[in-house]
């Protein structure tokens, strides 16, 4: 029996690895596309000041759009993914399909209602934003209305595939969405700004409207996968569910599970919205900077650095989204097996949570610290040189670790149905962020907003770690033993990368786009190679490579320890 359970856990871990690989690859590709387009986009916008203003305006629109998307989606895709996996694990296949259909109708209505609200409320939403004119912000916010109307439908399809633990369609649709969004954006901005000398605001509005183009293509790609592999998602012939669930109960279940997903899942967007609406008013009181300087600093930390950091944060979000259906299915199975047992134990769930956190550390820690190591050349490779760029990006890289850990931990809580704890932790963290915003901005100026965010997310993650210890009697000492070589190897890699960057900066011309590109490539290769060798030596890379790690050790002549 124990052997059978071990095989099940190993299979679940393998599915988690495969799903994480698909979703991480999609996130990296789509986020890299979302960063690289910035180079021609800002160049075509005009001089550096106009380009930064355009990027800030783009960011203002997307901050409100992200909040409305979170409200429109209302956590339903995550809930659908979790509950489909839950029902399939219990053999309730008809109920799982009906749940998806009910969710689809709910999302179609939600998208239209949210789009109407965004259009109507745009003047009020634009009022306190760091834009030169509220009219500029209104135009950009309203350009996102078409995308808001259909994104919920796209999200429910992704939730359906993830509920069946099939991550490939979601991953491919994510890449297609970003690719066509960027293509449309660059073509239109070039025609408007370079060919016809159109206004900056019109170019930004078309850039944000591109989200609608990307969403249409993504939906088409998901429909293609659905019809191509429809036999995979069909109910077994002759199967009858053992429990009848009414449509009303299904809708209520979607709402019950989804609301905590939206509240807890919107933490990153809420923290950014706090910055959008409090940064200017507070900084006007506690600093002597002009409006133009404040807009520029806001653009550098909230738009420019944040766009680079989302590449790293998206890795954690990919890992956590993959874990929800797998962890939910495992936790449900263990709970059903122990319904009559008073002293419950959760060995399979503990193994998956352990694996999930290790996977997060293995990927996120080197990615974030590596970004911090090359912050200077990385920033000037993408954006015009700014004296604050490297420092703000380094702080943001540390912030990415806090945000990433939150994403993993909150989804662990929700996968196990501890929705109230997920919400409570988020409210505590955002309360801390709000309380610290003014004093930290007053003391540290612009970096204070990022420090407040780091502390807020650290508080949330600490609370979730504490609750998981209580719920599962989680063996953190065992986890810390597994994490120690990852953390130490990351520190060694960071030191090597910082030294390499210092050496490269003495040879290559910076700030210079070509010099910065070469510096990032050289330091990145040195850092990645260092981390790979350490991972092979201390065996933690085996977590994702499995038996391939042994072949790599033989190839590179690395002796394993531990």
Whether 505 is in a domain gets the answer: no
Give the model's pLDDT for residue 5.
57
Whether 216 is in a domain gets the answer: yes
Helix (H, G, I), strand (E, B) or coil at 241: coil
Whether 445 is in a domain gets the answer: yes
Whether 312 is in a domain gets the answer: yes
Of 213, 318, 317, 195, nearest to 267 by C-alpha is: 317
DSSP string, 12-81: HHHHHHHHHHHHHHHHHHHHHHHHHTHHHHHHHH-SHHHHHHHHHHHHHHHHHHHHHHHHHHTTHHHHHH
Q: How many domains does the chain have?
A: 1
pTM above 0.85, yes or no: no
Whether 502 is in a domain gets the answer: no
Residue 229 carries which DSSP code?
A: T
State the number of CA atoms in the 13 A half-sphere of 536 facing the CB.
18
Whether 488 is in a domain gets the answer: no
Residue 540 carries which DSSP code?
A: T
Whether 173 is in a domain gets the answer: yes
Whether 500 is in a domain gets the answer: no
- Cβ-Cβ contacts under 8 Å for 461 (sequence gap 6 or more): 402, 405, 406, 409
Question: Could you tell me the residue range of the domain that residue 65 belongs to?
Answer: 2-236+247-475
Per residue of the chain (562 residues), what is the pLDDT tens digit?
444 555 555 565 566 666 667 777 777 788 778 878 888 998 899 888 888 889 888 988 888 888 888 777 766 777 777 778 777 777 777 788 888 888 888 889 989 999 999 999 999 988 877 778 889 999 999 999 999 999 999 988 988 888 887 888 888 999 999 999 999 999 999 999 999 988 999 999 999 999 999 999 999 999 999 888 887 777 777 666 666 677 677 777 777 767 776 776 678 888 988 998 899 999 999 999 998 899 889 889 988 888 888 888 877 777 666 677 778 778 878 887 776 666 577 888 898 899 889 989 998 999 999 999 999 999 998 888 888 999 999 999 999 999 999 988 998 898 888 888 989 999 999 999 999 999 999 999 999 999 999 999 999 999 999 999 999 989 989 899 999 999 999 999 999 999 999 999 888 866 778 889 899 999 999 999 999 999 999 998 888 777 788 888 888 888 877 6
């Amino acid at each position: 029996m124990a052997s059978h359970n071990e095989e099940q856990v190993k299979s679940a871990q393998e599915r988690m690895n495969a799903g994480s690989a698909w979703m991480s690859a999609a996130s990296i590709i789509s986020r890299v596309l979302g960063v690289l387009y910035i180079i021609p986009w800002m160049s075509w916008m005009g001089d550096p000041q106009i380009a930064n203003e355009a990027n800030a305006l783009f960011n203002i629109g997307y901050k409100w759009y992200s909040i409305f998307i979170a409200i429109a989606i209302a956590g339903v895709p995550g809930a659908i993914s979790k509950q489909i996996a839950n029902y399939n694990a219990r053999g309730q296949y008809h109920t799982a399909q009906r749940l998806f259909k009910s969710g689809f109708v709910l999302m179609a209505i939600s998208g239209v209602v949210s789009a109407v609200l965004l259009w109507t409320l745009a003047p009020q939403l634009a009022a306190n934003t760091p834009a030169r004119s509220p009219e500029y912000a209104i135009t950009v916010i309203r350009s996102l209305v078409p995308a808001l109307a259909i994104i919920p439908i796209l999200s429910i399809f992704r939730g359906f595939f993830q509920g069946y633990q099939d991550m490939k369609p979601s991953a491919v649709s994510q890449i297609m969405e970003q690719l066509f969004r960027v293509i449309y954006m660059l073509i239109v901005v070039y025609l408007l700004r370079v060919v016809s000398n159109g206004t900056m605001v019109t170019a930004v509005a078309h850039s944000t409207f591109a989200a609608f183009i990307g969403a249409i293509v993504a939906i088409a790609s998901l429909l293609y996968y659905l019809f191509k592999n429809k036999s995979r998602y069909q109910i077994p012939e002759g199967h009858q569910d053992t429990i009848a669930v009414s449509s009303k109960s299904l809708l209520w279940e979607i709402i019950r599970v989804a609301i905590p997903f939206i509240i807890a899942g919107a933490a990153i967007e809420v923290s950014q919205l706090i910055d959008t609406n409090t940064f200017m008013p507070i900084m006007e009181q506690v600093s002597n900077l002009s409006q133009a300087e404040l807009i520029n600093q806001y653009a550098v930390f909230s738009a420019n650095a944040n766009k680079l950091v989302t590449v790293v944060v998206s890795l954690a979000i990919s890992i956590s989204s993959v874990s929800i259906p797998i962890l939910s299915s495992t936790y449900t199975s263990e709970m059903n097996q122990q319904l009559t047992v008073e002293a419950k134990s959760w060995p399979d769930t503990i193994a998956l949570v352990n694996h999930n956190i290790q996977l997060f550390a293995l990927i996120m820690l080197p990615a974030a610290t590596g970004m911090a190591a090359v912050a200077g050349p990385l920033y000037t490779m993408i954006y015009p040189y700014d004296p604050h760029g490297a420092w703000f990006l380094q702080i943001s890289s540390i912030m990415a670790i806090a945000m990433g850990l939150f994403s993993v931990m909150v989804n662990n809580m929700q996968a196990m149905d501890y929705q109230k704890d997920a919400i409570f932790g988020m409210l505590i963290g955002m309360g801390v962020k709000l309380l610290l915003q003014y004093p930290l901005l007053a003391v540290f100026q612009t970096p204070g907003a990022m420090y407040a965010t780091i502390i807020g997310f650290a508080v949330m993650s600490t609370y979730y770690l504490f609750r998981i210890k209580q719920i599962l009697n989680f063996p953190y000492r065992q986890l810390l033993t597994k994490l120690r070589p990852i953390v130490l190897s990351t520190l060694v890699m960071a030191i090597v990368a910082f030294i390499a960057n210092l050496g490269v900066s003495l040879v290559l011309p910076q700030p210079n786009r070509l010099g910065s590109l070469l510096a990032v490539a050289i330091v990145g290769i040195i850092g990645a190679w260092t981390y790979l060798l350490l991972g092979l030596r201390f065996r933690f890379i085996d977590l994702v490579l499995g038996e391939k790690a042994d072949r790599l050790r033989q190839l590179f002549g690395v002796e394993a320890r531990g």
